[in-house]
Amino acid sequence: MNSNEKTIEKFDSHVMHSYKRFPLAMKQGAGRRCVDENGKEYIDFGSGIGTNSLGYCDEKWADAVCAQVRTLQHNSNYYYTEVQAEFASQLCGITGYKSVFFGNSGAEANECAIKIARKYSFDKYGKGRHNIITLVNSFHGRTIATLSATGQDVFHNYFFPFVEGFINVTANDIADLKAKLDDTVCAVMIEYIQGEGGVNALQQDFVDAIYDLCAERDVLVIADEVQTGAGRTGKFLAGEHFGKKADITTLAKGIAGGLPIGVCLAGEKCAEVLTAGTHGSTFGGNPIACAGGLAVLDRMKSAGFLEDVEKKAAYFRSELMKCPEVASVSGLGLMIGIELKTKKAADVSREAFEKGLLVLTAKEKVRLLPPLTITLDEINDGLRILFEILEE
Ligand SMILES: *Cc1c(COP(=O)(O)O)cnc(C)c1O
């Protein structure tokens, strides 16, 4: 048995089998490449589902994280820490939001958003205005509440009863939205680009309709930017592409460069909704995660970083469109969905893995979420492998 196989055997004997995993035991990484236990190298176009936004073990990020580990690794949220204050202040500075609640994951950030929306409405209007509209084909997380929010029937199994109070509207169907946005609704929750749902961007007129109708009725807009946020699309928030700022925006995945954190950002309207004792998290806003987050923000604020993401994304997309097997390329920036003409995305991801390239899938598409620091040479190296497979 080789090292990869040994690790996999031990792993599978003791870790629950809740994922369909590739037979790859990852040992270490540097930049945009990682190595498995047998020493085989991979170019990473998935970056741990968009988490390793600065690539593997970025030097400045690692220094910041290690320095924090040696200073103060954790303290309860009954006390204050400078690093959490600085991260919150910089997040608000970049996004224009008023206040932040920190959890540990995307699902937790969304749980917080859901609680804020319901309490905002309860405080102002009393009971009965608790429903939240989410979109068909959305994905908001794996906790019971965020699964309930997720508008995909495949997720609504086994774990009954689900949480009441979520109503699904078909994406881009303004009539459906109008019909369902009644006086029982306190919020509309969207992904500007549905990630797990297949890398599908919402249409501008539908986004406009959501914001207009919600403004008329004092219904909050929640933007789940867990996947689209933190520079992924070439803007810090994907909402900027649509000219919109939601009442609440959630972030996670890439915001701390691969450390677990969930961010719930609230604007003026609902910045003070959560009062002492109404919400909490033991690890939320952990100093190490915040130090990682600050290193990510520092890089994103550096001159030309996001413009560079947009340039690389444009190159990536135009190269992909040259491949005859590619039917269309969706998403924005470095959140890329590839619709294929004849091949199956799952087969392509498997073959790519065998040839030393890591890619993701989303529904019928190949999905790419490369590190934002990827270079043109690395894009070309990865595409060479991908095209070899697609042109077979
Ligand atoms: C990944 C994802 C989540 C869930 O995040 P976790 O960190 O896995 O809890 C929620 N919403 C969107 C849009 C996501 O892509």
pLDDT tens sequence across 137-173? 999 999 999 999 999 999 999 999 999 999 999 999 9
Same domain, 145 and 273: yes
| Domain containing residue 314: CATH number | 3.90.1150.10
Domain that holds residue 381: 3-57+305-390
Q: Is the CB of 141 under 6 A from ligand 1?
A: yes
pLDDT tens sequence across 236-268? 999 999 999 999 999 999 999 999 999 999 999
Pocket test for ligand 1, best of 227, 232, 233, 259 (most atoms within 8 A of CB): 227
Same domain, 13 and 103: no
* Residue 206 Cα to ligand 1 middle (Å): 23
For residue 130, pLDDT over 90 is answered with: yes
Pocket test for ligand 1, best of 140, 192, 193 (most atoms within 8 A of CB): 140
pLDDT of residue 306: 98
Same domain, 40 and 76: no
For residue 392, pLDDT over 90 is answered with: no
- Asked whether residue 86 is domain-assigned, the answer is yes
Same domain, 270 and 357: no
Mean pLDDT throughout 186-201? 98
* Residue 164 Cα to ligand 1 middle (Å): 20
pLDDT tens sequence across 337-359? 999 999 999 999 999 999 999 99
Same domain, 135 and 9: no
Mean pLDDT throughout 101-123? 98
Closest ligand 1 atom to residue 138 Cα is 13
pLDDT tens sequence across 279-328? 999 999 999 999 999 999 999 999 999 999 999 999 999 999 999 999 99
pLDDT tens sequence across 202-223? 999 999 999 999 999 999 999 9
Same domain, 274 and 327: no
pLDDT of residue 183: 97
Domain end call among 255, 285, 300: 300
Same domain, 121 and 155: yes
Average pLDDT of the residues of the chain: 98
The model's pTM is 0.98
- Asked whether residue 67 is domain-assigned, the answer is no
Specify the number of domains making up the chain. Answer: 2
Q: What is the 3-state secondary structure (H, E, C) of the chain?
A: CCHHHHHHHHHHHHCCCCCCCCCCCEEEEEECEEEECCCCEEEECCHHHHCCCCCECCHHHHHHHHHHHCCCCCCCCCCCCHHHHHHHHHHHHHHCCCEEEEECCHHHHHHHHHHHHHHHHHHHHCCCCCEEEEEECCCCCCCHHHHHHCECHHHCCCCCCCCCCEEEECCCCHHHHHHHCCCCEEEEEECCEECCCCCEECCHHHHHHHHHHHHHHCCEEEEECCCCCCCCCCCCCHHHHHCCCCCEEEECHHHHCCCCCEEEEECHHHCCCCCCCCCCCCCCCCHHHHHHHHHHHHHHHCCCHHHHHHHHHHHHHHHHHCCCCEEEEEEECCEEEEEECCCCHHHHHHHHHHCCEECEEECCEEEECCCCCCCHHHHHHHHHHHHHHHCC
